[in-house]
Structure 1
Amino acid sequence: MVATLLHEIPLQGGDVTDGVVRVGDTVRRPASTSTPAVHALLRHLEAVGFGGAPRVIGMDRLGREILTYVPGTTGLRLDSVTDDALCGLGVLLREYHDATAGFALTPNGWAGGSNDDKAPEVIGHCDLTPENVVFRSPGQPHALIDFDLARPTTRLFDIVTTLRHWAPIADPVDRHPLLRNLDIGARLRLFCDAYGVPPRERRRLLELSRIRFHRSYTAMRTRAAAGGNWAKMWAGGAGERIRRAAAWQDVHEDELHAHLV
């Protein structure tokens, strides 16, 4: 056991889960109440041939889940904020959603969180931040990681959640410098074109984004009250950033909508 621990490399980047480490070609993560549901999903993705997610190996003697390590880079860099990278992410998310077809959309065992009012269509990732998308070659997203917040939802809700980080739908003061001066409306359209979002859903995208801002604010505030990393995120201004993003969208809604329709 000591020899194994000496070879553990902490993996940084996520906001919610502590204690994630790399051991050789595997990743060890603390188990949660949603782990059985996530493992069932990952095994389904493997069975249908979706290559853009880690594989489940099992559990270790410390009760941690063991997943395959997906090599590559994460986070925002010059090559990951290009139009080509955004389109690649749209294609990858569509392939992932399509791969969840046939998987049970029951709510049991999944992480809680904000959601759409429509009936679930897919198992959404629901947390596609730049830290959770792996690039294997410059500008080409290869895989999705960290499915801790995955849950049954609609395609559009997961798209809205993704665009919150990647368009991004955010006040410029809160954007990463590489994303600060981009044409957000044009990027919304590029992503929707790459994914294949139908016209009727594009007309609803900003409405659902507004709903998500309101509900994610409430959900995060509730989780923060329980302490832990959610409390740290809240204390670090997560609620204020959500409010600013919603206000920015309201001001720019007409121009964003024009790009979408």
Structure 2
Amino acid sequence: MPLDGPPSPPAATYAETAEPQPEIPLIGGDVTEGVVRVGDTVRRPTGAHSPLVHALLRHLEHVGFPGAPRLLGIDAAGREVLTYVTGEVAGRPRPAWIADEARLVSVGRLVRAYDDAAAGFTPPDGVRAPSGPAPHPETPPAPAHPAEVIGHMDFTPDNIVFRDGRAAALIDFDLARPVPRVEEIHNAMLYWAPIGDPADADPHLRDVDVPRRCRLLADAYGMSGTDRGRLLEVAVLRTRRAWFSMKRMAETEGGGWARMWHEGVGDQIKRREVWLERHGSSIEAALTAP
């Protein structure tokens, strides 16, 4: 996909309201710290990802995509200011509705609506997704499929806002980057099917029919036949790479990455790889059945 375009203007300085308002910490994500709500706005730390995210959010606003916050500017503390998205998010402990199939279908539809809106986005000249730390030399290759959209790539239950029992909006675009569509739907399946050893799933998701839920997501998204045939390959390769990338991020970035690693995410990834070896064909069969 093209990655050049007109220069992106910096985010404007945000004009605060006359009356100071309290900062309410927003807790739920695994990595980003220091996110707070101030009135009808959310304040988030900026970083290397910010130029791409800001340009993407401007694009989504321009095309009228309703399922994302609006960028309002940068406050006096150097934080990005976004509109607060009202609704319900699956906090921790997870609610029982995380297993609801109607909600699952709505997630697939929201991911498709986002990808369609993002498909017309060309990042401005010089704006790129952060490359991150150099990969470990033993890191397996990535799936060899060309990028099609600037994907969200972080469809955790903490990052999807529901209204009236349906997925209505996405938040936390910090991991946005160029990807093929199959990786977007794989990312959603990872958290919502969920793809992995049931021992690592939320209690409400340990006894669900994972292949069926993958099929429901694929159908709701309108996944192409080609991508259905690629999904298992993508799942296996991404899982193999994830162990190395999570370890490297824990070592170089610390913070939430290090905490997740110390809490055993590396072992969880290894269990997912074993589970895929045993059950991946069932997912592929469910996705490709007439």
- Secondary structure in 1 matching 2:109: helix
Provide the residue aligned with 1:238 in structure 2: 265
**TM-score normalised by L of structure 1:** 0.94
Provide the residue aligned with 1:9 in structure 2: 24
Pairing 1:133-152 to 2, within 5 Å after superposition: 133-138=160-165, 140-152=166-178
- Secondary structure in 2 matching 1:252: helix
- Secondary structure in 1 matching 2:80: strand
Give me the CA root mean square deviation: 1.8
Instruction: Give the distance between the partners of 2:60 and 2:229, measured in 1 at CA.
Output: 30
Letter in 2 for 1:224: A
- Of residues 179, 198, 223, the one that matches 1:153 is 179
User: Is the counterpart of residue 196 in structure 1 residue 222 in structure 2?
Assistant: yes
Letter in 2 for 1:137: D
Of the two structures, which has the highest relative contact order with CA contacts closer than 8 Å and spacing of 6 or more? 2
Instruction: Give the distance between the partners of 1:26 and 1:115, measured in 2 at CA.
Output: 37
The question of whether the paired residues in 2 share the 8 Å contact of 1:125 and 1:151 is answered with: yes
In structure 1, list runs of 5 or more residues that go unmatched. none
User: Is the counterpart of residue 79 in structure 1 residue 97 in structure 2?
Assistant: yes
| Number of residue pairs the alignment of both structures matches | 258
**TM-score normalised by L of structure 2:** 0.85
Percent sequence identity over matched residues? 48
Instruction: Give the distance between the partners of 2:65 and 2:45, measured in 1 at CA.
Output: 24
User: Is the counterpart of residue 259 in structure 1 residue 267 in structure 2?
Assistant: no
Instruction: Give the distance between the partners of 2:265 and 2:170, measured in 1 at CA.
Output: 23
In structure 2, list runs of 5 or more residues that go unmatched. 1-15, 133-140
User: Is the counterpart of residue 225 in structure 1 residue 240 in structure 2?
Assistant: no
Pairing 1:5-154 to 2, within 5 Å after superposition: 7-75=22-90, 76-104=94-122, 108-112=127-131, 116-138=143-165, 140-154=166-180
Deviations 1:50-80 (A, max 9, x none): 0000000000000000000001111142333
* Larger fraction in helix: 1
The question of whether the paired residues in 1 share the 8 Å contact of 2:28 and 2:158 is answered with: yes
Instruction: Give the distance between the partners of 1:166 and 1:196, measured in 2 at CA.
Output: 17
User: For residues 13 and 111 of structure 1, do their structure 2 counterparts lie closer, same or farther at Cα, with a shift above 3 Å needed?
Assistant: farther
- Secondary structure in 1 matching 2:285: helix
Greater radius of gyration (CA): 2
Provide the residue aligned with 1:178 in structure 2: 204
The question of whether the paired residues in 2 share the 8 Å contact of 1:160 and 1:208 is answered with: yes
The question of whether the paired residues in 1 share the 8 Å contact of 2:109 and 2:221 is answered with: yes
Deviations 1:84-141 (A, max 9, x none): 1111111110010000122126894314479642221001111110000001112x01
